[in-house]
A and B are shown apart, each in its own frame.
Chain A
Amino acid sequence: MIKNYLKIAIRNILRNKVFSFINIAGIAVAIAVAGLIMLYVQYEWGYDRFYPNTNRIYLVYCKDPGNFFIGSDLYAVTPEPLGTAMKNEFPDIENYVTLGRWNKALVKVANRKVFEENILCATAPDLFKMFSYNFTAGNPETALSQPNTVVLSENVAHRFFGAEEPIGKTVEINIYGKTQVWTVTGVFRAMPNNSQFSSYGIVTSFDTYASTIADRKDSFQWGNNSWFTYLLLRKGTNVETLQAKFPLFVQKNIPASVEEGEEFFLQQIADTHLFSKANFGFGVAGNLSLVSVLSAIAIVILAIASINYMNLATARGSVRAREVGVRKVIGAKRSQLIAQFMGESMMLALTAGVIGLVLVEILLRLFSRLVGVDFGSGSLSHPSFVVGFLVVILIVGLLSGAYPALVLSMYRPAAVVKGSAKSGKRSSLRNVLVTAQFAASIALISCTIIILSQLNYIQTKNMGYNRQNIIVVPINLEKSIFQHVGMFEEKLREHSFVSSVTACSFLPIDIESNTEVHATGRTGSKNAQAYCIYGGYAFLKTFEIQIVEGRDFSSLVATDSSSGIIINQTLQKALGRDGTVGRMVNINGQRFRVVGVMKDFNLHSVRHKIQPLFYAMGGWRQYLCVRVQPGHIGPTISLIKTLWNRFGAQRPFTHTLMNDDFKKMYGNEERLSQAVSFSSGLAILIACMGLFGLITFSIERRRKEIGIRKVLGATVAEVVSLLSSEFLLVVMVANLIAWPVAFFLMRDWLNGFAYRTPLGLVPFIVAAITTLGIAGAAVGFHAVKAAMANPVESLRYE
């Protein structure tokens, strides 16, 4: 019996090439898209979720009431004594780990090369136990018990020593200008890419690290939040109950002198990636919106392809009706027929699945770049992917097969034999399904246009600074440059194509540090929380930020560099009366005079409103920014590189262009737009393939009617409009359904931006025209062909 079914299924696939192609191609593409997206979702969802103890590991985060940083007063960093104190206080805590990190440390390996590495400093061996590090050499219990010892990941060990035995070798590590020799005592298997520790190939003990920076005593005290604290709770611990005890704990443990009303909370480690609540988290933050948008897209595209199958299978029902009738006459039960038709759709889904898997393999690298995630090797043979992929195929097979199986198996043999089975007729359910397909495609197209126009708005909006032709060189880690930055700048200024040079603490596109500005006590003035940026005399000139009141800093006024500030218009408003040129304000206990007011510029991404900001001289410098004459970027970069080496820098020279840094800031939006535009293209393609199939069938079925109408005097145009109107109506209705959906989705999305493009009618009209055009072409092609046919042909054999 099975063999019989199989034969019929294969013959049906082969006999109806157009339908089979539409079905298999559509479903294969849909399955491929779903597979890729599943890979990404599994990766993101699985982030930090795979440690054996994951659901008992919690991050302690801290609320610093009123101290807002980019809209949130929650921080992932905590004081160093916290872990020990909590462990002592609460029996529910089985263990804890305190973490510090030193990114881009310079590591010198036995007179060989210098590497830039990220170092993790942790209370060992608890780190290894809590996160189940897998050691291939050395003993995790004792590896870091001696001072100045390190363990390496296999990758790093290989990079440092090649095939040589790493245990016992030494490396020179430079921390805060002090070089120390550390001995390798262990090697562990690298963490998967979706672990927050994956980029930390060197681990040292917290004590070793602490002794290296022992002169920074205040780093280790209550009140200094620089460390990450992870807790391993005992099985069965109630997190709510435990958290409720924290306020009392704070009162008891934190000295009144540094207590500022902090509150502590717990978040499960696996949630910290996608649902991170706190600033300054340890790992990279996940892109939750991309995860959810892509998941939705996968479902929509699978649904569109499945609907194609359902529609084409039922539309062709009358063709199969005879077979069904005959089978019933010779004794088939309905359940057997259902099984047969389900089997066919399963086989089709399986075939499409195989093609889909090939597509996944081909598209993996492109996709990985699109979502900005490196899935690592072997991701396609990972059990979770394999199982997931099979489940997708199974669901598609069931979903697309169930309805046709029910309908087809329902034909009554008498009706079929009499030749009056009416399955090929237009069915309202079929129209509903096609409408749904198109509504989804149209919604995606409108969203694409809106997202792209917001991206364009970001690219073209005047942010208040000029980001073109600026070379950015990070200098904070390179002592030789950092300490002689003035001389470095002088050397650059000697060249005519260098317009201006400034060192600064942040780039104006994203200013990360803030502090309190206190009024000096007169009535009508107010305190304000303000962001601060430090730069040289040429800071405003370099970024072409305008002064609207007062003046820029001048080297001729001695007090400018020590006690002058320039505030932006927003801070001016916030300070009230003290926000006037010439007034004094108090910052961190020091008095500053307001020298000038600069025009507001966007100091963060356009997601956020412009915040109060002041600019002062001196302070910490992270970047050297060089504005060059247009067309001189290349030569200037070589010039800086030459100088970099002449100054005796140890680190390799790196640079960026400010315009690229700016674009990178909107990487999430960029990815979203690419994902959505790509998938809307696919959705409309698959939907149109289905439409094409349906119209082929519908015209086939109406050949006789078309012939009669032509004999009665219908013109080609009349026949075409007769054939197309039904489908165009469907597309029109789909537009009406899709618009509000897209409108509300996009309104919410745009509301996430403080500065945004207006949400007008244009995207919806463009989407309508696009879909009507594409669907019209698919339908029109067939309709014209059918209308031009000689009616004699279609009426001859009756």
Chain B
Amino acid sequence: MIKLTAIEKYYENRVIKTFVLRNINLEVKEGEFVSVMGPSGSGKTTLLNIIGMLDAPSNGEYYFLDEPVHKMSEKRLTELHKTYIGFVFQSYHLIDELTVYENLETPLLYQRVNSNNRKGRVAETLDRFGMVAKKDLFPNQLSGGQQQLVAIARAVIAEPKLILADEPTGNLHSEQGKEIMDLLKKLNEQGTTIIQVTHSETNAAYGNRIIRLKDGWIEK
């Protein structure tokens, strides 16, 4: 599903080139659950952003479902990432001004799902995540765990093939964290490919493969 060859990422500030990722070669098959680990600043988020097409690599090739991402137009990229990829962030990134219901609805709006269909899918997702009672609340009226739940619900509502989760439990108690990890596991069992970044060995164990990053290199 994902194939990265010789991916590099660097930032040029005035004189120095700072490398964040070096010679990354990585393949992820459909249905995998991959955990990415590594110290802070090792390039995990950058890698996830590149896979999620939010950021472009400086060098190298990236094939997504056998399509060359590195040669794609901006429009096609947006198209791909909005149909195939869902994101979950450490700090949730819900829209503060919108209710739970409206937050869930937003990706469907951008995919031009018609109104009836949309209502159905939002209702179904609320039900599935047990949040029907909370649908009219705003993010700041929810606990951190509940907010992350909404964020995951928002990521899966568009039925992505791939979920990218950047430290999804980083801001949560271990109790809440476990709940989230169980949920991701369940989604993976239902067929969604998942790549998560985590600091916790326990959480990493939920996946079926661990990739360790250090100073931008993949540790063998």
The chain A residues found within 8 Å of chain B, CB to CB, are 420, 704-705, 707-709, 711-715, 718, 790-792, 795-796, 798
Which residues of chain B are within 8 angstroms of A705 by Cβ–Cβ distance? 95-97
CB distance from A355 to the nearest CB of B (A): 37
Partner of B107, one of A707, A712, A791, A792: A712
Q: Are B55 and A790 in contact (CB under 8 A)?
A: yes
20 pairs of residues in contact across A and B, judged by CB atoms under 8 Å: A705-B95, A709-B95, A709-B106, A709-B110, A712-B87, A712-B106, A712-B154, A713-B81, A713-B107, A713-B111, A715-B78, A715-B110, A718-B110, A790-B54, A790-B55, A791-B54, A792-B55, A796-B45, A798-B89, A798-B93
If A713-B110, A714-B110 touch, whether A795 touches B89 (CB-CB below 8 Å) is yes
CB-nearest residue of chain B to A426: B97
- Residue with the greatest number of chain B CB neighbours at <10 A, chosen from A705, A713, A714: A713
CB distance from B186 to the nearest CB of A (A): 22
Q: In whole angstroms, what is the CA distance A795 to B87 when docked?
A: 12
CB distance from A416 to the nearest CB of B (A): 16
- With A713-B81, A798-B90 known, 14 other A-B pairs at CB within 8 A are A420-B140, A705-B96, A707-B93, A708-B93, A708-B94, A711-B87, A711-B93, A712-B87, A712-B154, A715-B78, A718-B110, A792-B55, A798-B91, A798-B93
CB distance from B40 to the nearest CB of A (A): 13
Which residues of chain A are within 8 angstroms of B91 by Cβ–Cβ distance? 798
B82 interface residue (CB < 8 Å to A): yes
Q: Are B82 and A713 in contact (CB under 8 A)?
A: yes
If A712-B154, A790-B55 touch, whether A704 touches B140 (CB-CB below 8 Å) is no
Within 8 A of A (CB), among B83-112: 87, 89-91, 93-97, 106-107, 110-111
Q: Are A712 and B54 in contact (CB under 8 A)?
A: no
CB-nearest residue of chain B to A797: B91
Q: In whole angstroms, what is the CA distance A790 to B82 when docked?
A: 15
Which residues of chain B are within 8 angstroms of A704 by Cβ–Cβ distance? 93
Partner of A708, one of B52, B55, B81, B95: B95
Q: Are B140 and A792 in contact (CB under 8 A)?
A: no
Q: In whole angstroms, what is the CA distance A796 to B89 when docked?
A: 10
B49 interface residue (CB < 8 Å to A): yes
Which residues of chain A are within 8 angstroms of B95 by Cβ–Cβ distance? 705, 708-709
Q: In whole angstroms, what is the CA distance A795 to B93 when docked?
A: 8
Q: In whole angstroms, what is the CA distance A792 to B54 when docked?
A: 6
Q: In whole angstroms, what is the CA distance A708 to B107 when docked?
A: 10
Which residues of chain A are within 8 angstroms of B81 by Cβ–Cβ distance? 713
CB distance from A418 to the nearest CB of B (A): 11
Q: In whole angstroms, what is the CA distance A714 to B154 when docked?
A: 14
CB distance from B46 to the nearest CB of A (A): 9
CB distance from A346 to the nearest CB of B (A): 35
Q: Are B106 and A792 in contact (CB under 8 A)?
A: no
CB-nearest residue of chain A to B166: A795
Categorize the interface residue count of chain B.
20 to 34
CB distance from A725 to the nearest CB of B (A): 14
Scan B39-68; emit 1 where CB is below 8 A from any A CB, else 0. Answer: 000000100010010110000000000000
CB distance from A474 to the nearest CB of B (A): 74
CB distance from A455 to the nearest CB of B (A): 49
CB distance from A92 to the nearest CB of B (A): 75
Which residues of chain B are within 8 angstroms of A707 by Cβ–Cβ distance? 93
Which residues of chain B are within 8 angstroms of A718 by Cβ–Cβ distance? 110
CB-nearest residue of chain B to A702: B97
Q: In whole angstroms, what is the CA distance A707 to B52 when docked?
A: 14
Partner of B54, one of A711, A714, A715, A798: A711
- Residue with the greatest number of chain B CB neighbours at <10 A, chosen from A705, A708, A715: A708
CB distance from A20 to the nearest CB of B (A): 29
Which residues of chain B are within 8 angstroms of A420 by Cβ–Cβ distance? 140
Rank and list the top 7 A-B pairs by shortest CB-CB distance, nearest first: A713-B82, A713-B110, A798-B91, A712-B107, A708-B93, A792-B54, A792-B55
CB-nearest residue of chain A to B93: A708
Which residues of chain B are within 8 angstroms of A798 by Cβ–Cβ distance? 89-91, 93
CB-nearest residue of chain A to B86: A712
Which residues of chain B are within 8 angstroms of A711 by Cβ–Cβ distance? 52, 54, 87, 93
Which residues of chain A are within 8 angstroms of B111 by Cβ–Cβ distance? 713
CB-nearest residue of chain A to B140: A420
Q: Are B54 and A713 in contact (CB under 8 A)?
A: no
CB distance from A794 to the nearest CB of B (A): 10
Q: In whole angstroms, what is the CA distance A712 to B96 when docked?
A: 15
Which residues of chain B are within 8 angstroms of A712 by Cβ–Cβ distance? 82, 87, 106-107, 110, 154
Q: In whole angstroms, what is the CA distance A715 to B110 when docked?
A: 8
Q: In whole angstroms, what is the CA distance A790 to B54 when docked?
A: 7
Q: In whole angstroms, what is the CA distance A32 to B55 when docked?
A: 50
Which residues of chain B are within 8 angstroms of A792 by Cβ–Cβ distance? 49, 54-55
CB distance from A127 to the nearest CB of B (A): 76
Q: Are A713 and B78 in contact (CB under 8 A)?
A: yes
Which residues of chain A are within 8 angstroms of B87 by Cβ–Cβ distance? 711-712
CB-nearest residue of chain B to A794: B93
Q: In whole angstroms, what is the CA distance A708 to B91 when docked?
A: 11
Which residues of chain A are within 8 angstroms of B94 by Cβ–Cβ distance? 708
Which residues of chain A are within 8 angstroms of B55 by Cβ–Cβ distance? 790, 792
Which residues of chain A are within 8 angstroms of B93 by Cβ–Cβ distance? 704, 707-708, 711, 795, 798
Within 8 A of A (CB), among B4-51: 45, 49
CB distance from A528 to the nearest CB of B (A): 75
CB-nearest residue of chain B to A713: B82
CB distance from A464 to the nearest CB of B (A): 65
Which residues of chain A are within 8 angstroms of B45 by Cβ–Cβ distance? 796
CB distance from A792 to the nearest CB of B (A): 5
CB distance from B119 to the nearest CB of A (A): 18
Q: In whole angstroms, what is the CA distance A796 to B166 when docked?
A: 11
Which residues of chain A are within 8 angstroms of B78 by Cβ–Cβ distance? 713, 715
Which residues of chain B are within 8 angstroms of A715 by Cβ–Cβ distance? 75, 78, 110
Which residues of chain B are within 8 angstroms of A709 by Cβ–Cβ distance? 95, 106, 110
Q: In whole angstroms, what is the CA distance A796 to B44 when docked?
A: 12
Q: In whole angstroms, what is the CA distance A705 to B103 when docked?
A: 11
Which residues of chain B are within 8 angstroms of A713 by Cβ–Cβ distance? 78, 81-82, 107, 110-111, 158
CB-nearest residue of chain A to B52: A711
Which residues of chain A are within 8 angstroms of B140 by Cβ–Cβ distance? 420
Q: In whole angstroms, what is the CA distance A420 to B91 when docked?
A: 17
Q: In whole angstroms, what is the CA distance A707 to B55 when docked?
A: 13
Q: In whole angstroms, what is the CA distance A791 to B87 when docked?
A: 13
Which residues of chain A are within 8 angstroms of B75 by Cβ–Cβ distance? 715
Which residues of chain A are within 8 angstroms of B97 by Cβ–Cβ distance? 705
CB-nearest residue of chain B to A796: B45
Q: In whole angstroms, what is the CA distance A714 to B94 when docked?
A: 15
CB distance from A710 to the nearest CB of B (A): 8
Q: In whole angstroms, what is the CA distance A795 to B106 when docked?
A: 18
CB distance from B166 to the nearest CB of A (A): 10
Which residues of chain B are within 8 angstroms of A791 by Cβ–Cβ distance? 54
Q: In whole angstroms, what is the CA distance A790 to B52 when docked?
A: 13
Q: In whole angstroms, what is the CA distance A420 to B78 when docked?
A: 33
Which residues of chain B are within 8 angstroms of A790 by Cβ–Cβ distance? 54-55
Q: In whole angstroms, what is the CA distance A578 to B13 when docked?
A: 98
Which residues of chain A are within 8 angstroms of B158 by Cβ–Cβ distance? 713
Q: In whole angstroms, what is the CA distance A798 to B96 when docked?
A: 14
Q: In whole angstroms, what is the CA distance A707 to B90 when docked?
A: 15
CB distance from A493 to the nearest CB of B (A): 80
Q: In whole angstroms, what is the CA distance A707 to B96 when docked?
A: 13
Within 8 A of A (CB), among B124-157: 140, 154
CB-nearest residue of chain A to B82: A713
Which residues of chain A are within 8 angstroms of B52 by Cβ–Cβ distance? 711
Q: In whole angstroms, what is the CA distance A704 to B75 when docked?
A: 22
Q: In whole angstroms, what is the CA distance A796 to B46 when docked?
A: 10
Q: In whole angstroms, what is the CA distance A713 to B106 when docked?
A: 9
Q: In whole angstroms, what is the CA distance A798 to B111 when docked?
A: 27
CB distance from A700 to the nearest CB of B (A): 15
CB distance from B162 to the nearest CB of A (A): 14
CB distance from A358 to the nearest CB of B (A): 41
CB-nearest residue of chain A to B157: A712
Q: In whole angstroms, what is the CA distance A777 to B203 when docked?
A: 50
Q: In whole angstroms, what is the CA distance A709 to B78 when docked?
A: 12
CB distance from B174 to the nearest CB of A (A): 22
